[in-house]
Structure 1
Amino acid sequence: MDITSIIEPLNAEQRQAVTAPSQPLLVLAGAGSGKTRVLVHRIAWQIRVEGLSPHSILAVTFTNKAAREMRSRIEELLKIPANAMWIGTFHGLAHRLLRRHAEQARLPPTFQVMDSADQLRVIKRLLSGMNLDEARWPPKQVQWYINAQKDEGVRARHLPDTGDLFARQMIAIYRAYEELCERSGLVDFAELLLRAHELLRDNPEVLAFYRQRFRHVHVDEFQDTNTIQYAWLRLLTEGLDNLFVVGDDDQSIYGWRGAKIENIYSFQKHYPTHQLIKLEQNYRSTGNILKAANEVIAHNDGRLGKELWTESGEGEPISVYAAFNELDEAYFVVERIKAWINEGGLRSDAAILYRSNAQSRQFEEKLVASGIPYRVYGGLRFFDRAEIKNALAYLRLIANRHDDVSFERVVNTPARGIGAKTVDEIRLLARDRSVSLWQAADTMIRQGRISARAGNALAGFMALIERLGEDSEGLELYEKVRKAVETSGLLDLYRKDKAENGEEKVENLEELVNAARLFDYNADNEENLGELELFLAHAALEAGEMQGEDFDDCVQLMTLHSAKGLEFKLVFMVGLEEGLFPSLQSVEDPGRLEEERRLCYVGMTRAMRSLYLTYAESRRLYGRDSYPRPSRFLREIPAECLQEVRMRGTFSRPVAAAPANPKTPAAESRYRLGQRVSHAKFGEGVVLQIEGEGAQERAQINFRNTGTKWLMLAYAQLEVL
């Protein structure tokens, strides 16, 4: 048996993980250490060498993109289709389970999956029906509360009444939300996971079937699992030696959305016969970047512990730039990017990483002014666009008349004379009779409860949906989609829209038809769902995707959280200041501060060749001026890893150490080293360094009361004493 293709590309530790005997296995995979390769080759080894059936493989990832990549690489390595394996996201696989066992899960066969935006619409409608003021009960906060409870496996009936009035009302909202979703056959993303866990927990025969079927369970990014995801995995693998997880406690950065770093530590207690394998050889970054990242993350307590290393050489030092303010910071970064491009570098190989989205504006303005294309990573994706969601709502109503979210979204889109008052009356009747909006609307028409004009408009809308359902019978999926976007009036609506990108919206609707044409109905369809139902579920799951699309050749701007899993030759981590990064909220909370440090570690290890760290000595953010101290993370990097850079020239020294020998000032400068000066805001000080010329001339001044600062001399209005 030729196993060369499976074993040869692996280093010693990767090979140990891939060929390990069946037992609980925790692979601690550092940044850039080839964790996806290990997962893929482990599955290939089990099928090719151990003779396992692909039917017995379950592999869980966190994004659809990662699942597609894993499936593709397995097929390429084994030269067999991967359809028999269950490879997908937690949400995707939970959806698959619920479709197969809807009855045992207490769901209607035609249940619909809501994305986050649709869930928010349901909550807003619910709050209105309960006569609750959104100012006091913000829908986003209610949404977060409900999802957080579900992530912990908690139903409304499980929550105790502590006597707190706020908590009591939130529980009542949660209970009403559960009832509405049950009545309408709606399932949100958090419900997918909770319901799938309850399905296995409460149906021993179902659990026994899947324990027997999935002889080997593989999990990617294990450090990002939440409570209910880990509970689901434990149910499937309890008492078995078949759980293979890959993760990195140093890259656990999603605590704010429910991820539990404790899971990776609890694994060793819950699976006492486990084996721990560390992947520490990095194939991405230079030695200098890795040394700095190792030193920063070493300041966190309780780590499982590992040290990244590379065979690719030490590389250049990390560059640190102290900007006068955020404008100077943006100017410096864009100038370096221009130099990178002029030297032949690709724009798409350069990334600007920031802690807060609010930081991006200055960089965007400077990039536009310089004529450099850029992309803010994480913009609206295809299935998130309003025109696409409208078209999908029509399709959902064709599949399920009792989908309240879709009914409400398009009952008057395009406008057909059904006003907000009519919709409110429909909601009221639906709530009072515990029926769907469709049923309530039908009752109102038959009983003449609304005006003739509104009744005719409403009857016309419902007849349109019925006709679409009848006319779509027997059509190909893409023909159903085309008929829906044409007959609904959406195409005409956007063709007439000359003010708001109507042409682009028409093109998007046409692309939706094309997406339906290319949709692979046979993939992952053991449940034998209809094409339309499967396509709608696919659209909802894609809309919840966390990763963006493939890059064009443009500079990438993104938050540090968004950068996880990516890599770039040139990286700028900006805004390394106390109160910004680490964030102000984390400074007094040891747990949150450690997550901020992990975020810094993730950001640094995105850089392959060149890493710049910048901070501003003054910054206007969120409408306020501040004069922050450099981030503690800068001080945690060894001095020998750093070089401090200026707009003109470079010199090496530790950050925040005593000044090096100053550079000779420009001959025309009116200031000199050692000169005493006064500033209107900072008071008296002494000039330590001068650099630059003309409008770019600036000085480092040690002020008696406020410490050392760099000031642009053209604007500082210093008085010589």
Structure 2
Amino acid sequence: MNEILDGLNEAQRKAVMHVDGPLLTLAGPGTGKTRVVTHRIAYMLDQGVSPYSILALTFTNKAAKEMKQRVARIVGENPIWMGTFHGYCARFLRYYGNMIGLKDNYTIFDVDDSKKALEEAITLSGVSLSHLKYADIARGIANLKNRAITPEMLSEAPRGALEMAVRKVYPAYQKFLLNNNAVDFDDLLMHTATILRSNEDLRADLDSKHTYVLVDEYQDTNLAQYLIVRGLSIQHPNINVTGDPDQSIYGWRGADIANILNFERDYPGLAVVRLQENYRSTPQILSVADQLISCNIHRKAKMLIPTCIDGSKVKLCTYASAKDEAEHIADQIAKHIIEQTAKPKDFAILYRTNAHSRLFEQSLMRRRITYQLIGGFRFYQRQEIRDLIAYLRLVNNPEDDVSFKRVVNLPPRGLGDKTLQGVTELARSRDISMLVALRAAIDHGMLSKKAQAGAREFLNIYEKLVDLSGQSIVAMLNHLLEATNYIEYLAGKKSEAPDESVKENVGELLADAQDKDTLLGEGGGLQQFLEEISLASDTDNIKDDNRVTLMTLHSAKGLEFDHVYVVAVEQDVLPHARSKNDPAQLEEERRLFFVGITRARRHLQISNASSRGFGNSRMGCPSQFLMELPRAEMSMIDYTRANPRDLSWGDHDTSQDSDSGDWDVNQDVSYEEDFEQEQENPSPKKKTGNSGKRHIEPEFSKDDFDQHDQYCQEP
């Protein structure tokens, strides 16, 4: 017991010792949130709670792994299920997916495969893209899924061409996925919520099984996740959600800040604990963060109380150009490394979108400073890895036509477009998979001699892989590489010797497979191996080795560094141009800036450039958020002058009476057309005056759990 409670402050101890009944833990950045969650689990076990009755959910594999390790250090290994929402839902659907037509060997499509499936659905539904964008249709469907709205629940007449297209494509897309025995990432949540909502006996059984539910980062939940959590905590409302409304930054992908703001409404009589003592950052950094976020209206009032000693002032720097910004920051990092006052791993450069990374990469490379780029080209997105995994996925799920199309003629074996089109049409006409259709085409002599030889070659490789699946993943991969001469094929395709990086990547895949084989034994790991690959995220790739970290503000969530540079803090960049006319989105952009600031432990620099461009150089102006920062904690340095000098703002407590001077945020500039269309850029939304109120009210009790007509109000 002493080991569990020792070293906790009063608020942390109160949260840890709360066992029964609902609990809302409001945890600001650096307040020991993860420690509280893990010590609370240990305390519950010490009080006699069965580990089999505890369900702990979070958002990243990295966070889940850290939680497991911390709990194990306190109480030893245990059977508690701790993992991500998507991981829990993936397992749930292995058991209960048959209720919506899924088999337990279903495939989880990644972004690229989902795109191929959606393009197919657009074609099949007869929707023209002449006046519509693929991305808009994809976003529309994702928004519906994040709100747990199935095609059958759409009732209102569509408003406009885009809604009409979404309503046509959405059912076709879901049918295509089901025919392939597949789901996309959003389906994992939507299908789980749908099954719980429509099967009261199952919901009640799981409610009784998971009598204690813990949810981390609750401010990032969307409506589908809300429904899952709510459905598992009706009879046994021993639910603890931990989060911080000030760090809700995923509204663009369906997260609803109202879930945490209204938690007290959902569970009357709950206990609320505020964790406010910050053990991460200096008082100067916290002062900047607190004053910035206090400008938001829709939040739970709290403050960050520093426990660290005083540090240096937060630097606010202006550069003549984006290149100057990158060069100067790289020089600062190099100076620290040369003087041995810091290591590369102590530094992070944070930006709004990945489009900003290039100049910093170049500047660091010129100085031979090692770095890692988070959110770039992921390991499992590489061609050689995707090709090999597609073979394995087809073995696991023979109905996966997307994987079939990728590998049936890879390497080329005489199966051209005409042959594949014929197989596709045969599969559609008979409502069978393309793998079955290929066999039928061979049996009925429907292929040319050349195509038939290629088809038989492919099927021989495939059937051998099926046989080897009972042994090990490594055996499958080794046979695949040997039977296809895959690495040599890639080398020939490039007219050069085999690429060493390709060999290294394949070697890394084999090592991962060996680890899984060792963990689960022969023939037991293929499905889990493929599932883990599908659920891998950018932050899983963060290495603990000695490198500077370059990443977006979104990816930085949950991390901390001694030295942090938040760059490109300019109007129409941060806040993003799309948020300027939407108060709710503007507040989310401010929260994003707050997250970036609070990643810093000792030193923080915020910077902007007078000119920046992605293809075209543009004049820029500082972000409006800079006007909201406290002058007393800032050291403002203008590097656009021949002799850079400190233009500190003085010792005022607030910025309300400041002379904006050079900080004119009303200049007519826009970067929007230069931005890459990235998934983490917020999508345009209808203007709402209150981000704390959701358009859809998912409040329900055990008696009305299956009443979901209200969820169809706003497609």
Both proteins in one fold, TM over 0.5:
yes
Instruction: Tell me what 2:580 maps to.
Output: 587
Q: Does structure 1 retain, via aligned residues, the 8 Å contact 2:27–2:244?
A: yes
- SS of structure 2 residue aligned to 1:103: helix
The offset of 1:588, in angstroms, is 2.0
1:321-332 paired onto structure 2 within 5 Å: 321-332=317-328
The offset of 1:103, in angstroms, is 2.9
Identity over the aligned pairs, expressed in percent? 36
Instruction: Tell me what 1:114 maps to.
Output: 109
Question: 1: CA distance between counterparts of 2:351 and 2:358?
Answer: 11
Structure 1 residues 131 and 500: alpha-carbon distance in aligned structure 2, compared to 1, 3 A threshold: farther
Instruction: Tell me what 1:420 maps to.
Output: 417
Q: Does structure 2 retain, via aligned residues, the 8 Å contact 1:28–1:279?
A: yes
Question: 2: CA distance between counterparts of 1:304 and 1:465?
Answer: 57
Question: 2: CA distance between counterparts of 1:60 and 1:403?
Answer: 29
Q: 1:291 and 2:287 equivalent?
A: yes
Q: Give the counterpart letter for 1:296 in structure 2.
A: L
Q: 1:92 and 2:84 equivalent?
A: no
1:599-618 paired onto structure 2 within 5 Å: 599-617=592-610
Which deviates more from structure 2 when the two are superposed, residues 125-134 or residues 250-259? 125-134
Instruction: Tell me what 1:684 maps to.
Output: none
The offset of 1:522, in angstroms, is 6.4
Aligned partner (choices 365, 372, 377) of residue 375 of structure 1: 372
Aligned partner (choices 565, 568, 584) of residue 575 of structure 1: 568
Instruction: Tell me what 2:705 maps to.
Output: none
Instruction: Tell me what 1:171 maps to.
Output: 167
Question: 1: CA distance between counterparts of 2:572 and 2:473?
Answer: 52
Structure 1 residues 575 and 103: alpha-carbon distance in aligned structure 2, compared to 1, 3 A threshold: closer
Q: Does structure 1 retain, via aligned residues, the 8 Å contact 2:637–2:648?
A: no
Question: 2: CA distance between counterparts of 1:261 and 1:122?
Answer: 31
Q: Give the counterpart letter for 1:198 in structure 2.
A: T
Instruction: Tell me what 1:564 maps to.
Output: 557
- SS of structure 2 residue aligned to 1:237: coil
Q: Deviations over 1:344-366 (max 9, x none)?
A: 11112112111232222222222
Q: Deviations over 1:15-34 (max 9, x none)?
A: 11000241111100000111
Structure 1 residues 399 and 631: alpha-carbon distance in aligned structure 2, compared to 1, 3 A threshold: closer
Q: Deviations over 1:283-321 (max 9, x none)?
A: 111001001110010000021111102121221111111
The offset of 1:521, in angstroms, is 7.5
Q: 1:343 and 2:335 equivalent?
A: no
Q: Give the counterpart letter for 2:249 in structure 1.
A: I
Which deviates more from structure 2 when the two are superposed, residues 142-151 or residues 217-226? 142-151
Structure 1 residues 569 and 650: alpha-carbon distance in aligned structure 2, compared to 1, 3 A threshold: farther
Structure 1 residues 430 and 138: alpha-carbon distance in aligned structure 2, compared to 1, 3 A threshold: farther
Instruction: Tell me what 1:629 maps to.
Output: 621
Q: Give the counterpart letter for 1:185 in structure 2.
A: N
Question: 1: CA distance between counterparts of 2:290 and 2:498?
Answer: 48
Q: Does structure 2 retain, via aligned residues, the 8 Å contact 1:639–1:655?
A: yes
Q: Does structure 2 retain, via aligned residues, the 8 Å contact 1:635–1:656?
A: no
Question: 1: CA distance between counterparts of 2:515 and 2:662?
Answer: 64
Question: 1: CA distance between counterparts of 2:159 and 2:576?
Answer: 34
- SS of structure 2 residue aligned to 1:45: helix
Q: Give the counterpart letter for 2:8 in structure 1.
A: L
Question: 1: CA distance between counterparts of 2:82 and 2:363?
Answer: 43
Question: 1: CA distance between counterparts of 2:122 and 2:436?
Answer: 21
Instruction: Tell me what 2:702 maps to.
Output: none
The offset of 1:418, in angstroms, is 1.4
The offset of 1:379, in angstroms, is 2.4
Q: Give the counterpart letter for 1:356 in structure 2.
A: T
The offset of 1:128, in angstroms, is 4.4
Q: C-alpha root-mean-square deviation of aligned residues, in Å?
A: 2.7
Q: Which runs of 5+ in 2 are unaligned?
A: 653-660, 669-715
- SS of structure 2 residue aligned to 1:273: coil
Q: Does structure 1 retain, via aligned residues, the 8 Å contact 2:16–2:43?
A: yes
Aligned partner (choices 478, 481, 486) of residue 485 of structure 1: 481
Structure 1 residues 328 and 229: alpha-carbon distance in aligned structure 2, compared to 1, 3 A threshold: same
Q: Does structure 1 retain, via aligned residues, the 8 Å contact 2:354–2:375?
A: no
Question: 1: CA distance between counterparts of 2:456 and 2:565?
Answer: 58
Instruction: Tell me what 2:443 maps to.
Output: 446
Q: Does structure 2 retain, via aligned residues, the 8 Å contact 1:479–1:513?
A: no
Q: 1:598 and 2:591 equivalent?
A: yes
Instruction: Tell me what 1:517 maps to.
Output: 514
Q: Deviations over 1:486-505 (max 9, x none)?
A: 33432442465564963322
The offset of 1:148, in angstroms, is 1.9
The offset of 1:10, in angstroms, is 1.2
Q: Does structure 2 retain, via aligned residues, the 8 Å contact 1:123–1:142?
A: no
- SS of structure 1 residue aligned to 2:242: strand
- SS of structure 2 residue aligned to 1:244: strand
- SS of structure 1 residue aligned to 2:315: strand
Q: Give the counterpart letter for 1:569 in structure 2.
A: D
Q: Give the counterpart letter for 1:504 in structure 2.
A: S
Aligned partner (choices 24, 32, 35) of residue 34 of structure 1: 32
Structure 1 residues 629 and 477: alpha-carbon distance in aligned structure 2, compared to 1, 3 A threshold: closer
Q: Does structure 2 retain, via aligned residues, the 8 Å contact 1:185–1:402?
A: yes
Q: 1:192 and 2:184 equivalent?
A: no
Question: 2: CA distance between counterparts of 1:200 and 1:22?
Answer: 24
Aligned partner (choices 240, 243, 247) of residue 244 of structure 1: 240
Q: Does structure 2 retain, via aligned residues, the 8 Å contact 1:635–1:655?
A: no
The offset of 1:225, in angstroms, is 0.5
TM-score by length of 1: 0.85
Please say which structure displays the higher CA radius of gyration: 1
Q: Does structure 1 retain, via aligned residues, the 8 Å contact 2:348–2:549?
A: yes
Instruction: Tell me what 1:465 maps to.
Output: 462
Q: Deviations over 1:269-295 (max 9, x none)?
A: 111121111111111110010011100
1:126-525 paired onto structure 2 within 5 Å: 126-129=121-124, 136=131, 138-160=133-155, 161-162=157-158, 164-344=160-340, 345-470=342-467, 472=468, 474-494=470-490, 496=492, 499=496, 502-519=499-516
Structure 1 residues 56 and 239: alpha-carbon distance in aligned structure 2, compared to 1, 3 A threshold: closer
Q: Which has the higher contact order (CA 8 A, sep 6+)?
A: 2
Instruction: Tell me what 2:9 maps to.
Output: 11
- SS of structure 1 residue aligned to 2:236: coil
Q: Does structure 2 retain, via aligned residues, the 8 Å contact 1:521–1:531?
A: no
- SS of structure 2 residue aligned to 1:153: coil
Instruction: Tell me what 2:630 maps to.
Output: 638
The offset of 1:105, in angstroms, is 4.3
Q: Deviations over 1:169-203 (max 9, x none)?
A: 32221111111111221111111111112222222
The offset of 1:9, in angstroms, is 2.4
Question: 2: CA distance between counterparts of 1:562 and 1:623?
Answer: 25
Instruction: Tell me what 2:677 maps to.
Output: none
Aligned partner (choices 119, 127, 135) of residue 124 of structure 1: 119
The offset of 1:129, in angstroms, is 4.8
Q: Which runs of 5+ in 1 are unaligned?
A: 658-699, 708-721
* Aligned residues between the structures: 653
